Amino acid sequence: MTTLDRDAALDRAEAIVETVATEIMPVPVREVWVYGDVALGMDPVDRLNVYVTKDLLFGRDEAAAERFRETHGVEGVGQTVRAEWAQQYPEYVRANQSGHVAPEQCLAAHLLEPDEPVHLEVCNASFEDNVTQRLEGARARGNYEQLLDPRGVCLWLGDGEDSGRRSDDAVEKLRDGSLAFPTLADALSMLGMDDDEAREAADAVEAYRDRQDGRSVRGDVV
């Protein structure tokens, strides 16, 4: 399994924030978090877990949609992702299996290297809200693998208009290893699981993580 030493993982996290802060994104970005191993101070980091909160786009640029339909064979440019972004970064345009442009895949293409050990979560809900949503869904289905690890650190907060502020203090604390978090089971207990269920859920999440390798991306709408 490919891993990152801690400094390299934090360098990558800062580089992702720098890209979000200085370049146009396929969709407006409101939050960038890291969570899991890198937040816990582990070294090396098996996978860098990054969470991005995006805004949904509304409206349609028909001219851009037609142009990218012809040049890239994809639908939705100017509707699901920004036309101006696609025009500036056509090499990062990605579509799902149905041929419709996929914001999470576009973000991954723009922000990540092809084979690095990074998992990118993209959702229209904030990190904290999605932690709760995913927990409720996992408990309802009895399937804990897709729980979102609540032990996260916010590195950037945006305003939805391509500006925002970085949390230099959070990065400094990550580099110092001075943040204290509970075990995953204890964190889940704090969110309302009883102790046995929390341990079962934590074991499922950790087993799922152990099976993952390389780059991955997950898009979610709640």
pLDDT along the chain (222 residues), means of 10: 89 96 95 95 93 89 89 91 95 94 97 94 96 94 92 91 83 90 95 95 93 91 80
Asked if 13 contacts 36 with a C-beta cutoff of 8 angstroms, the reply is: no
What is the predicted pLDDT for the residue at 60? Answer: 81
Task: Enter the DSSP assignment of 187.
Answer: H
What is the predicted pLDDT for the residue at 192? Answer: 92
What is the predicted pLDDT for the residue at 1? Answer: 64
Q: In this structure, what are the phi and psi dihedrals at residue 172, rounded to the nearest 5 degrees?
A: -60, -45
d(CA 205, CA 87): 39
Helix axes 6-22, 168-176, angle to 10 degrees: 170
Bridge partner residues of 29 (DSSP): 54
pTM: predicted TM-score of the whole model, two decimal places: 0.94
d(CA 46, CA 145): 17
Burial of 19 per CB tally in 10 Å (0-12, 13-18, 19+): middle
